[in-house]
């Protein structure tokens, strides 16, 4: 076993028998295949994805203690069938809640940092959305500069609230020293966001995408997510009809759209921490939200499996190459022959993720907005 054994002090095991309600699992089900921390930490040598539960909610407005959210998700996820034998998974159990909220942040940060340091992709089962701060601190603790993407109906920059789940982005985006190169916010609902907040985000060259805009062209979010390392999903972004535990808004993404965004996260070669937050089992109905989250996890694994087929940009034979000029700027577009995804070249010869729509815009001798925004950010 590797040096990550020292994270065991921060984790408590889970029981496969309790999660399965003593019924066990059939051949092919995830619960039969996943390596689980029951009595000893699993060997992670050949593992790709690592689950870590963190039921901490003291940063939210919830008054009821909620210790079982990760296990409720596990119960549904373990029952699904694993179609992707090339992706190996392990479950490291749950973060032990600290004496204070800050202690829990520190424990989660340490566990995530240790796991990513040995090349693992970490999936955090929350817990309230402010745990994204600890997810970010795992990068900050090693001085790693990142691009981050958050999916949420709200933009948690509240100035007049004591709840960390409503203001954690302030520290994450403006704290010094800062390790956020770029921030994307997907799925905000306009009526919950002050216009001045969006103006501030735009001045910082951060990109915010309204839920209606995303739903019209959801495939445009794939290159947005592709460049990120940190991916955080608050279930408030999912419409109540698809996630009954969401008590923030009746509107939002459909269940299928939420799964598609998670697949995009899995497809990314850069995303190595994924957090799913805001699930409160006592608000759920017939475990439908837990089922929704479990299927999102399944699509994350599906995306990771598909992403393994992608060639590196240096393997030019694996790409269709298109040379063109728009607005007197010469550039190159690359399209993967394996996955169909697109990249475009900036004046500094670096390639950034883009979409087929960007290619069409450039073909019309117009400058793609994604290209402009990348130039503005330098």
Dump pLDDT digits (tens) for 48-64: 999 999 999 988 876 55
Q: What is the reported pLDDT for 62?
A: 67
Residue 303 · residue 295 · CB < 8 Å: no
Q: Which residues contact 352 (CB under 8 A, 6 or more apart)?
A: 223, 227, 343, 344, 346, 370, 371, 374
Residue 4 · residue 115 · CB < 8 Å: yes
Other CB atoms within a 10 A radius of the CB of residue 65 amount to 11
Spans of all domains in the chain: 3-307, 316-377
Residue 123 · residue 53 · CB < 8 Å: no
C-alpha dihedral sign at 349, 355, 361, 364:
positive
Q: What is the reported pLDDT for 165?
A: 73
The share of the chain scoring above pLDDT 70, in percent, equals 97
pLDDT score of 169 more than 90: no
Tokens of 312: 């590196």
Tokens of 263: 């697949």
pLDDT score of 374 more than 70: yes
Backbone angles phi, psi at 225, to 5 degrees: -75, -30
Instruction: Single out the residue of 123, 168, 118, 169 nearest to residue 142, CA to CA.
Output: 118
Helix 101-117 with 131-140: angle, nearest 10 deg: 50
pLDDT score of 350 more than 80: yes
Q: What is the pTM of this model?
A: 0.94
pLDDT score of 233 more than 80: yes
Location of structure tokens 């940190």: 230
Helix 369-377 with 356-363: angle, nearest 10 deg: 100
Structurally, at CATH architecture level, domain 3-307 sits in 3-Layer(aba) Sandwich (3.40)
pLDDT band at 2 (very low <50, low <70, confident <90, very high): very low
pLDDT score of 175 more than 90: no
Tokens of 368: 């793609």
Location of structure tokens 């495939």: 219
Can the peptide bond before residue 127 be classed as cis, meaning omega within 30 degrees of 0? yes
pLDDT score of 90 more than 50: yes
């Amino acid at each position: 076993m590797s040096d990550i054994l020292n994270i065991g002090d921060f984790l408590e095991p889970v029981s496969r028998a309790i999660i399965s309600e003593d019924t066990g699992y059939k051949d092919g089900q995830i619960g039969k295949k996943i390596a689980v921390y029951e009595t000893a930490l699993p060997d992670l040598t050949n593992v790709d994805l690592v689950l870590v539960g963190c039921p901490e909610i003291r940063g939210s407005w919830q008054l009821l203690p909620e210790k079982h959210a990760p296990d409720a998700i596990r119960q549904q996820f373990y029952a699904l069938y694993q179609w992707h034998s090339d992706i190996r998974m392990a479950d490291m159990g749950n973060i032990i809640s600290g004496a204070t909220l800050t202690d829990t942040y520190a424990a989660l940060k340490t566990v995530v940092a240790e796991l990513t340091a040995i090349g693992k992709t970490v999936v955090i089962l929350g817990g309230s959305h402010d745990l994204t701060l600890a997810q970010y601190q795992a990068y900050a603790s090693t001085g790693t500069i990142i691009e981050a993407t958050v999916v949420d109906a709200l933009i948690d920059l509240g100035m007049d609230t004591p709840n960390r789940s409503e203001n954690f982005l302030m520290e994450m985006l403006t704290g010094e020293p800062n390790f956020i190169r770029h921030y994307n916010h997907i799925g905000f609902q306009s009526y919950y966001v002050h216009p001045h907040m969006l103006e501030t985000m735009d001045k910082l060259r951060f990109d915010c995408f309204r839920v209606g805009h995303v739903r019209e062209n959801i495939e445009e979010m794939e290159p947005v997510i592709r460049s990120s390392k940190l991916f955080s999903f608050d279930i408030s972004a999912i419409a109540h009809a698809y996630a009954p535990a969401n008590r923030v808004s009746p509107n939002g993404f459909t269940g299928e759209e939420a799964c598609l965004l998670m697949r995009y996260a899995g497809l990314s070669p850069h995303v190595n921490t994924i957090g799913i937050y805001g699930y409160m089992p006592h608000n759920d109905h017939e475990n439908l939200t837990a089922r929704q989250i479990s299927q999102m996890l399944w699509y994350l694994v599906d995306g990771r499996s598909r992403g393994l087929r992608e060639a590196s940009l240096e393997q030019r034979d694996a790409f269709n190459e298109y040379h063109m000029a728009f607005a007197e700027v010469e550039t190159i577009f690359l399209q993967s022959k394996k996955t169909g995804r697109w990249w475009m070249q900036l004046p500094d010869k670096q390639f950034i993720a883009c979409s087929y729509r960007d290619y069409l815009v450039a073909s019309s001798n117009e400058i793609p907005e994604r290209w402009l925004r990348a130039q503005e950010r330098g």
